[in-house]
Amino acid sequence: MNLVKTDIPTTYDPHSVENKWYAFWEKNGFFHTEVNPEQEPFCIVMPPPNVTGQLHMGHALDNTLQDILTRWKRMKGYNTLWLPGTDHAGIATQARVEEQLAKEGLSRHDLGREEFLKRVWAWKEKYGNRITTQLRRLGASCDWQRERFTMDEGCSEAVLEVFIKLFQRGLIYRDYYITNWCPKCHTTISDIEVEHLERPGHLYYFKYPFKDGSGHVVIATTRPETMLGDVAVAVHPDDGRYKEMVGKTLILPLVGREMPVIADEYVDPSFGTGAVKITPAHDPNDFEVGARHNLPQVKVIDREGRMSEEAGPRYQGLDRYECRKKIVRDLEAGGYLLKTEDHVHAVGHCYRCNTVIEPMLSKQWFVRMKPLAEPAIEAVKEGRIRFIPERFAKIYLNWMENIRDWCISRQLWWGHRIPVWYCGDCGEMTVSKKAVTHCAKCGSAEVEQDPDVLDTWFSSALWPFSTLGWPKKTLDLAYYYPNSVLVTGRDIIFFWVARMIFSGLAFMNDVPFREVFIHGLVLDALGRKMSKSLGNGVDPIDVIESHGADSLRFMLITGNTPGNDLRFHFERLDGARNFANKLWNASRFVLMNLEDFDPEGRPGPYSLADRWIISRLQAAIAGVSRYLEAYELGEAARVLYDFIWSEFCDWYIELAKPRLYGKTTPEDRYTAQHVLSSVLKCTLELLHPFMPFITEEIWQHLPGRGVTIMKAPWPAARSELVDTEAEKEMELLMEVTKAIRHIRSEMNVSPGRKADALLSVPDGAVRAVLEKGREYIQGLANARLKIFPVLDEAPEQAAHAVIRGIELFVPLKGLIDVEKEIARLQKELAVTEKELARVRGKLANPGFLAKAPAEVIEKEKAREEELSGKQAAVRERLGMLAGKKK
């Protein structure tokens, strides 16, 4: 017999429970899976966190969502693989190691490339498992035996294979183009690695004179230092102000360079003066304009963020911001500066080091995107990939339909080195998987590999299939590809999701996943993005230490709707912990009353309360399952919260107590035990994907358990157990009980005083239900129930309520001192009205409304609403008591 273990501690200690059960799960290989053709597969690949990283709230949300889906599908009987891994994070990892070297007074150039890379690998081995350790603390049930790394042998082979195939198809090329350059990290960076931050600056208005002396054109710019690289001024072809000027020649101030006025539809006539300086070497839009008009490219800022030789001897070597100040002074001295305006604009910063990025012309490797984008667009339009929520499909399609070529080279040493060799004698270029020692064209040994490495996103774009063994034809690849679903944040749709889609189609001839489940960002309580610069980040590990992983997970899920951002409130976190404690205490009560319970026995006839809770459990099972299928995980959590907190804990357990404690038959006691244990067990199984640790701990104490709750079958709703009649009857009894409780609370009746409750019930069927549930109401409301078909005369000094045509009277005489209660309420009303007047005075003050932050104003408005409601309630109680004094 599977005995009940009732030795559950008085209080719930998340730390001991979480450490114990995660070690148990992992040691026993419960996360691991192998190919099984007899089972339907379910596969998720984890968006690989940076090997340098540590868990942040975005990771916590993303991996909680994945873990819920994985645990749920595992319980549903799928062959479930959640494949974890980490990204080599080229820029970040190299920067970390270079920081260490700097403390030793060294640079990577002092070590040389080979020795430096040895240092990086050693760093990775020492620190690279930090984030995977933290994911374990969150409860992530990934198959750690299959953990991958973007630079492990298999993934690296896949990267080389893809580069060579794309090159052979003419989809990879090398050319000059504008890229995002970080002067501190000394590399190009991708668009996602640029944070656009609003910064105060200036808009400078300069005049550029015509060569023939006929006047000038006024331009406005936020970056005067780039004017040294200007090669034209552009106007919109339909702008009547400038039609006569198109084709004329201007003289660039301070430089003397002749340059044309050109017409191009890129220009926004409403911005500035409607005339735009064109600097093809330092602005991506200007580069496109320059290409259309065959303009020269003058590069005046170098890779250190200093002015180059082409900036002229007067400015060469100056920092770009020092140069800005000097140019403004020089233009003012020359009579070219007309005015300066304050101007707030978005400035791109490197998200690694916070340096302002420099758009810069350089020779880089690119992927030609349009041929790859076309099938990726069709895959979504045809429904082969479904976005959840659907609105993100439009965002994806809009970007893909306007896609630009992808710069894939990075000026780093850590990463997948570009597999291209150049001959120093004849200039021949060789693309090869294997190292090239001699030129295939001239036989020279003077060959050198391209020094750059590939963008980190290049390897992660292959993640859905490289992690399963591609380019080898493995059993895993055939079984688990395409993946079932991708779970990721809305902020990387373009930079990762899109790249995985076109890569999967290009190399696997199929989509990489069937569905894309998009979630929002975790913001702070004020709705701001969490960041180091704001100092508003919340460390998930600190939260796990203070509240437990289950509380963090449940807080992140409840109130969370697909695709929408989530605000982090510590009050909500406390609420999740309270929920865990409520479940723990209720479970402890159940277990303490199961010491003599034989799980192999048979229950007797079910009571009304038994039938009701069993029926409500079927509704909970159906609701949770339905919401999970729709990826409405927050709604699934809400259903569980309501069922556990209210229906099971607050109602059913209380209704079951008389059969456990009171004068009852053994059969009644056993039936109550049976329903309590079976409903609790099923509830824990429903809750397990959301709160894995506490559910495992409690489940292990229950009868009928298996080895682990992880392997328990997912509950299925049983239609024959749905009892709508019992639900209707219990709903009526609960409403009457709540009405009596409300009156007792409002009238300040001592909880220990038993009250009379008189019910006038004209409807015979309703009276029968109330008679049947008399004991329930009397026990839960601490009342003596008296039921009449008609009450001829209302009792004196009685509080009154109406529920579904039932008149309820609670005589107050003898329960409270009416005079004292009136005095107490009058005092409470005075305090309330004084505070309400203060709040309304603030909200009527124009100065307060103009200066106070929006969140403070909203808080005061909420306070006004709260006080106004309290005022009305107290007045109502006073009116009732005043009318009953006699």
**Strands annotated E in 84-240:** 85-86, 148-149, 172-182, 187-189, 194-209, 216-221, 232-235
How large is the average pLDDT for residues 116-138?
Answer: 95
Pairing of strands 249-251, 258-263: antiparallel
Query: For 343-403, where are the alpha helices, taking DSSP H only?
Result: 370-381, 391-401
At residue 3, the pLDDT reads: 54
User: Is 532 marked as binding a ligand?
Assistant: yes
> What percent of the chain clears pLDDT 70, i.e. is strictly above it?
98
pLDDT digits (tens, 9 = 90+) for 610-623: 999 999 999 999 99
* Amino acid residing at 547: H
pLDDT single digits (tens) 221-263: 999 999 999 999 999 999 999 999 999 999 999 999 999 999 9
Q: Angle CA(777)–CA(782)–CA(786) in degrees, nearest 5?
A: 60
Task: Give the pLDDT of residue 885.
Answer: 47
Query: What average pLDDT does this structure show over 194-207?
Result: 90
Average pLDDT over residues 802-827: 82
If you average pLDDT over residues 599-603, what whole number do you get?
89
For residues 681, 686, 689, 693, the Cα torsion angle rounded to the nearest 10 degrees is -30
Which amino acid, one-letter code, is at 400? Answer: M
Give 546: exposed, middle or buried? Use CB within 10 Å, 0-12, 13-18, 19+. middle
pLDDT tens digits for range 452-490:
999 999 999 999 999 999 999 999 999 999 999 999 998
Q: What's phi and psi for 449, nearest 5 deg?
A: -75, 145
Residue 760: enclosing H or E segment and its boundaries?
strand 755-760
- The set of residues, in sequence order, having a beta carbon less than 8 Å from that of 647 and lying 6+ positions away, is 613, 616
Q: Are 528 and 567 in contact (CB under 8 A)?
A: no
Instruction: From 781, 804, 807, 776, select the one nearest 794 (Cα to Cα).
Output: 807
How does DSSP classify residue 417?
B
Cα separations in angstroms, 348 against 222, 478, 641: 13, 43, 44
**Are β-strands 755-760 and 783-788 bridged in parallel, bridged antiparallel, or unpaired?**
parallel
CA pair distance 56, 471, nearest whole angstrom: 33
Query: Nearest-CA neighbor of 640 among 532, 753, 557?
Result: 557
Q: What is the pLDDT of residue 797?
A: 78
Q: Please report, as a single letter, which amino acid is at residue 557.
A: I
Using alpha carbons, select from 285, 286, 291, 316 the residue that is nearest to residue 301: 316
φ, ψ of residue 256 in degrees (nearest 5) = 85, 5
Assess whether pLDDT exceeds 90 at residue 53. no
196 strand-pairing partners:
348
Q: Out of 391-395, 647-651, 741-745, which region has the weakest mean confidence (pLDDT)?
A: 741-745
Asked whether the beta carbons of 460 and 87 are under 8 A apart, the reply is yes
Segment 368-381 shows an average pLDDT of: 97
List, for residues 714-735, the tens digit of each pLDDT value: 999 999 999 999 999 999 999 9
The mean pLDDT value for 204-231 works out to: 95
Taking 70 as the threshold, does the pLDDT of residue 860 lie above it? Answer: yes
CA 839/CA 870 separation, integer angstroms: 14
- Whose structure tokens read 């159906």? 622
Give the pLDDT score at 4: 60
Per-residue pLDDT averaged across 348-357, rounded? 84
pLDDT value of residue 6? 64
Domains for the chain: give ranges and CATH numbers: 33-162+457-519 (3.40.50.620), 187-359 (3.90.740.10), 541-722 (1.10.730.10), 727-811 (3.30.2320), 818-883 (1.10.287.380)
Distance in angstroms (rounded) separating the CA atoms of residues 508 and 500? 11
pLDDT digits (tens, 9 = 90+) for 14-35: 999 999 999 999 999 999 999 9
Backbone phi, psi, residue 220, to 5°? -125, 135
**pLDDT score of 328 more than 80:** yes
- Band of residue 408 on the pLDDT scale cut at 50, 70, 90: very high
Most confidently modeled of 139-143, 565-569, 822-826? Answer: 139-143
Of the two residues 848 and 430, the one the predictor is more confident about is 430
On the question of pLDDT at 883 being above 80, the answer is no
CA dist., res. 441 & res. 429, Å (int) = 9
Give the 3-state secondary structure of residue 306. Answer: strand
247-251, 318-322, 528-532, 819-823: lowest mean pLDDT where? 819-823
Contact between 69 and 78 under an 8 Å Cβ cutoff? The reply is: no
Q: ω into residue 540 within 30 of 0, thus cis?
A: no
CB of 178 within 8 A of CB of 287?
A: yes
Tokens of 671: 């039936």
pTM of the model as a whole: 0.86
Query: What is the per-residue pLDDT for 886?
Result: 41
Q: Examine the pLDDT at 661 and tell me if it is beyond 90.
A: no
From edge to edge, which strands make up the β-sheet containing 187-189? 187-189, 172-182, 358-367, 406-407
**Cα dihedral sign, 433-434-435-438:** negative
Please, are residues 797 and 812 in contact by the beta-carbon 8 Å criterion? yes
| pLDDT tens per residue, range 36-51 | 999 999 999 999 999 9
Chain mean pLDDT for the chain: 93
CA distances from 279 to 34, 50, 244, 337, 341 (A): 57, 36, 23, 19, 22
**Which SS3 state, helix, strand or coil, does residue 83 take?**
strand
284-327 pLDDT, tens digit per residue, is 899 999 999 999 999 999 999 999 999 999 999 999 999 999 99
